[in-house]
């Protein structure tokens, strides 16, 4: 073999997969169409957000890179939903788009064992099954008898590898639309990757079409910012990466304006020229990030829609019009954009457009993100039908880790729904599939109060260590943090309010002898209040550690109740189903369940219970059958 591992594509999924494999010591080549667009933020210039920010911190806790890149390149930071409960709060940062791309590329270039190569992959090489058996557990792809052995590129290069990670983003057989204009492109000005999607179809994979879009970019000098609401970031900024103590980054404001009834009327007058409504676009678009023409049609009673005007970087004058994603013709875009207050003289630098592309139904994958039909082929990112940089990066990291586990003959790392948003996302994808771009939300997680962004390292750092992605320095730092948190928790339990302290504000209504831990459970009491009385509580602890401690104390009752739910959940998750199970021979299953189980091939009874069409009576049959075995 030329390489141990080969990664196709250098978007956010490809970056994480390539870094993980190379850092674990495997000779890795990352093949991408254009080295200058590595880590491109194709749409909005931001990382994080509701649930997404949680995933970025989970990526960091596991040993991934996205959190460190955004820490180095952010130009505004905010915690969303500060006024609501901690389970639905999340960090979000505006990114300096050119700087993010350059930082990502340079990080790859500096990584040992990793080569970058510019070409387009058009086909896969395959061969009979070989390689080490999985040790210490069941192999989720045990039934497969064929494996990938490499790729063929557009220029005729045959590159062989033991494992291949496919992260093609929106480029497989892609086509962009701007009104009547069409082009075989994955991004405007960048050619599509032709052939690979057709090859996957020939191999029996379920390949479909999806659509996404992006708004126009305009020149800052042409905007009347005085007509818009200014939106500053938070004064308190904390890093996405747990390895960073503080950040010193410049900050730029964003701006908010709104469409008008006149805007909507202009859009309605051009709907006949929209490829979205004329039927030229076949794929489903993102339900939760619709185009402006979609919003105008689906919400006719709305008199206005938000437009967030966001800077794309410190050294560029391009501004991103978040909320105006479109595929309307350029003259129509110019007309309706200039009807928005503050945008009357907008100079459009890049038009908005829609892009339609091939994706693979993720039910074709095991929970390790390995193809069921082709051993050693791992697939991640928008290729699996997801939408968003964070969803892609999380899948890329897990695909890279599990490709390394395959090379070692080890059981894959599979995160469950109770320990990570990443686990929720992957389980949703491989169990339920998707027919529209999948986006992560806090509402998708059943145990979200335990999946806060502040405790991601407590949940996942040890798994990153086991995978081999954390070095001695990171381990020492994490252990020191855990030790100090334990000391503070112990001091909160032991330290009590004295009679003298209870007689003075703000404790005048309290009785002496009450523990600080009990006091902290009061919604009106904060840990900084207690530190004023007992400074030792804050000694040697970062602000985010103290916040985590406070939340754990205040929500301890909820967390204990949730832990009981998790224990019941894991009883079903821990009942494994042999991957080679022949569902045709299992008596008593409903016909629908039998067909669905043959496709999904669940690895546990828990996963089987979430397969659409599998009823509780079918789960009982499965349990009886497993008990007999």
Tell me the per-residue pLDDT of 417-461, one tens digit each, with 9 for 90 and over. 999 999 999 999 999 999 999 999 999 999 999 999 999 999 999
Angle between helices 66-73 and 97-109 (to 10 degrees): 130
CB-neighbour burial class of residue 18 (10 A; exposed 0-12, middle 13-18, buried 19+) = buried
- What integer pLDDT is reported at residue 295 of this predicted model? 94
Strand duo 114-118 + 28-32: pairing: parallel
- What integer pLDDT is reported at residue 279 of this predicted model? 81
- What integer pLDDT is reported at residue 133 of this predicted model? 67
- What integer pLDDT is reported at residue 508 of this predicted model? 64
pLDDT, tens digit (0-9, with 9 covering 90-100), for 557-595 = 888 898 998 998 999 999 999 888 899 989 999 999 999
493: confidence class by pLDDT, cuts 50, 70, 90: very high
Q: Which helix (H) or strand (E) holds 138?
A: none
Average per-residue pLDDT in the chain?
93
Cα 527 to Cα 227, 246, 512, 523, distances in angstroms? 41, 20, 18, 11
CATH code of the domain made up of 217-356: 2.40.30.260
User: What is 575-628's CATH topology?
Assistant: DNA polymerase; domain 1 (1.10.150)
Please state, in angstroms and rounded to a whole number, the distance separating the CA atoms of residues 162 and 5.
6
- What integer pLDDT is reported at residue 145 of this predicted model? 81
Q: What is the dihedral of CA 168, 170, 173, 177, to 10 degrees?
A: -170
Cα 316 to Cα 219, 251, 312, distances in angstroms? 9, 14, 7
Picking from 608, 611, 612, 610, the residue whose alpha carbon sits closest to that of residue 623 is 608
Q: First vs last Cα of the chain: how many Å apart?
A: 40
pLDDT surpasses 90 at 505: no
Please state, in angstroms and rounded to a whole number, the distance separating the CA atoms of residues 491 and 487.
6
Higher pLDDT, 271 or 131: 271
Please state, in angstroms and rounded to a whole number, the distance separating the CA atoms of residues 176 and 173.
10
Class of domain 3-209+360-467: alpha beta
CA neighbours closer than 13 Å in the CB half-sphere of residue 490: 6
pLDDT surpasses 80 at 495: yes
Domains of the chain by residue range: 3-209+360-467, 217-356, 472-561, 575-628
Q: 438 CB contacts (<8 Å, ≥6 apart)?
A: 384, 385, 386, 387, 391, 425, 428, 429
- What integer pLDDT is reported at residue 143 of this predicted model? 67
Contact criterion met (CB below 8 Å) for 353 and 177: yes
85: confidence class by pLDDT, cuts 50, 70, 90: confident
Please state, in angstroms and rounded to a whole number, the distance separating the CA atoms of residues 75 and 250.
6
What is the DSSP code (8-state) at residue 364? G
pLDDT, tens digit (0-9, with 9 covering 90-100), for 3-57 = 999 999 999 999 999 999 999 999 999 999 999 999 999 999 999 999 999 999 9
Please state, in angstroms and rounded to a whole number, the distance separating the CA atoms of residues 218 and 342.
12
- What integer pLDDT is reported at residue 139 of this predicted model? 72
- SS3 (DSSP) at 188: coil
- What integer pLDDT is reported at residue 246 of this predicted model? 82
Sheet holding 229-231, edge to edge: 229-231, 254-258, 306-311, 318-322, 217-219, 348-350
pLDDT, tens digit (0-9, with 9 covering 90-100), for 291-329 = 999 999 999 999 999 999 999 999 999 999 999 999 999
- What integer pLDDT is reported at residue 144 of this predicted model? 76
Please state, in angstroms and rounded to a whole number, the distance separating the CA atoms of residues 440 and 417.
13
pLDDT, tens digit (0-9, with 9 covering 90-100), for 508-542 = 677 778 999 999 998 889 999 999 989 999 998 88
- What integer pLDDT is reported at residue 136 of this predicted model? 61
pLDDT, tens digit (0-9, with 9 covering 90-100), for 118-165 = 999 999 999 988 776 676 666 766 667 899 999 999 999 999 999 999
Q: Say which residue the tokens 């045990």 belong to.
A: 142
- The contacts found for 470-476 with CB under 8 angstroms, 24 or more apart, are 470/63, 474/63, 474/243
Please state, in angstroms and rounded to a whole number, the distance separating the CA atoms of residues 328 and 126.
42
Strand duo 90-95 + 121-128: pairing: unpaired
Q: What is the mean pLDDT of residues 79-91?
A: 90
Structure tokens at 593: 């369940």
What is the DSSP code (8-state) at residue 299? -
Residue 593: phi, psi to the nearest 5?
-60, -40
b/e per residue 186-198 (b: at least 16 CB within 10 A): bbeebbbbebbbe
Please state, in angstroms and rounded to a whole number, the distance separating the CA atoms of residues 9 and 380.
10
Please state, in angstroms and rounded to a whole number, the distance separating the CA atoms of residues 355 and 190.
12
- What are the residues facing 127 on neighbouring strands? 147
- What integer pLDDT is reported at residue 506 of this predicted model? 73
- What integer pLDDT is reported at residue 500 of this predicted model? 82
CA neighbours closer than 13 Å in the CB half-sphere of residue 270: 26
Please state, in angstroms and rounded to a whole number, the distance separating the CA atoms of residues 385 and 569.
27
- SS3 (DSSP) at 166: strand
pLDDT surpasses 90 at 362: yes
Contact criterion met (CB below 8 Å) for 332 and 270: yes
- What integer pLDDT is reported at residue 277 of this predicted model? 81
Q: What is the mean pLDDT of residues 327-343?
A: 97
Sheet holding 181-183, edge to edge: 181-183, 175-178, 353-360, 207-214
Picking from 275, 278, 277, the residue whose alpha carbon sits closest to that of residue 179 is 275
3-state SS record for 233-264: CCCCCCCCCCCCCCCCCCCCCEEEEECCHHHH
Please state, in angstroms and rounded to a whole number, the distance separating the CA atoms of residues 506 and 20.
51
- SS3 (DSSP) at 625: helix
Class of domain 472-561: mainly alpha
278: confidence class by pLDDT, cuts 50, 70, 90: confident
Compute and round to an integer the Cα radius of gyration of the chain: 26
Do the first three CATH levels of 3-209+360-467 and 472-561 match, i.e. the same topology? no
Structure tokens at 410: 């080890």
């Amino acid at each position: 073999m030329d390489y141990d591992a080969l990664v196709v594509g250098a978007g956010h999924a490809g970056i994480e997969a390539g870094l993980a494999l190379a850092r674990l010591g495997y000779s890795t080549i990352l093949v991408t169409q254009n080295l200058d667009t590595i880590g491109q933020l194709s749409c909005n210039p931001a990382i994080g957000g509701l649930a997404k920010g949680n995933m970025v911190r989970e990526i960091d806790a596991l040993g991934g890179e996205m959190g460190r890149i955004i820490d180095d390149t952010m130009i505004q930071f905010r915690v969303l939903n500060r006024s609501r409960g901690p389970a639905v709060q999340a960090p979000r940062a505006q990114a300096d788009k050119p700087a993010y791309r350059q930082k990502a590329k340079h990080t790859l270039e500096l990584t040992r064992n990793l080569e970058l190569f510019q070409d387009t992959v058009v086909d896969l090489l395959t061969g009979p099954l070989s390689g080490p058996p999985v040790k210490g557990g069941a192999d989720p792809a045990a039934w497969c008898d064929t494996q990938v052995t490499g790729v063929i590129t557009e220029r005729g290069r045959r590159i062989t590898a033991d494992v291949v990670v496919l992260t093609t983003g929106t480029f497989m057989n892609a086509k962009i639309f701007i009104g009547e204009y069409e082009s075989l492109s994955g991004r405007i000005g960048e050619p599509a990757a032709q052939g690979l999607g057709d090859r996957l179809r020939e191999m029996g994979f379920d390949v479909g079409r999806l659509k996404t879009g992006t708004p126009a970019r305009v020149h800052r000098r042409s905007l009347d910012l005085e007509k818009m609401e200014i939106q500053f970031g938070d004064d308190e900024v904390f890093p996405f990466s747990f390895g960073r103590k503080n950040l010193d980054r410049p900050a730029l404001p964003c701006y908010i304006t709104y469409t008008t009834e006149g805007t909507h009327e202009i859009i309605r007058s051009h709907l006949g020229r929209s490829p979205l409504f004329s039927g030229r676009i076949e794929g489903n678009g993102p339900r939760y990030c619709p185009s402006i023409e979609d919003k105008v049609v689906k919400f006719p009673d709305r008199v206005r829609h938000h437009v967030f005007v966001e800077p794309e970087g410190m050294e560029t004058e391009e501004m991103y019009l978040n909320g105006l994603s479109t595929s309307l013709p350029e003259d129509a875009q110019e007309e309706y954009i200039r009807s928005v207050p503050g945008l009357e003289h907008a100079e459009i630098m890049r038009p908005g457009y829609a892009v339609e592309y091939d994706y693979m139904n993720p039910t074709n994958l095991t929970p390790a993100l390995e193809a069921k039909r082709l051993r050693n082929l791992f697939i991640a990112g928008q290729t699996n039908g997801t939408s968003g940089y964070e969803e892609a990066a999380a899948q890329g990291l897990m695909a890279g880790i599990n490709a390394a586990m395959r090379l070692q003959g080890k059981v894959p790392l599979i995160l469950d729904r109770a320990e990570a948003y990443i686990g929720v996302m992957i389980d949703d994808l491989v169990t339920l599939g998707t027919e529209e771009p999948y986006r992560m939300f806090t509402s998708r997680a059943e145990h979200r109060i335990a999946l806060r962004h502040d405790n991601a390292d407590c949940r996942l750092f040890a798994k990153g260590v086991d995978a081999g992605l954390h070095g001695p320095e990171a381990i020492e730092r994490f252990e020191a943090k855990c030790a100090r948190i334990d000391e503070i928790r112990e001091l909160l339990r032991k330290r009590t309010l004295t009679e003298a302290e209870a007689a003075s504000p703000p404790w005048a209504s309290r009785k002496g002898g009450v523990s600080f831990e009990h006091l902290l459970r009061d919604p009106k009491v904060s840990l900084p209040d207690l530190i004023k009385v007992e400074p030792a509580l804050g000694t040697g602890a970062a602000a985010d550690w103290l916040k985590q401690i406070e939340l754990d104390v205040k929500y301890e009752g909820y967390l204990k109740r949730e832990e009981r739910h998790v224990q019941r959940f894991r009883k079903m998750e821990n009942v494994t189903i042999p991957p080679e199970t022949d569902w045709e021979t299992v008596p008593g299953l409903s016909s629908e369940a039998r067909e669905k189980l043959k496709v999904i091939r669940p690895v546990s009874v828990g996963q089987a219970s979430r397969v659409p069409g599998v009823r509780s009576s079918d789960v009982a049959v499965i349990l009886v059958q497993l008990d007999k075995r």
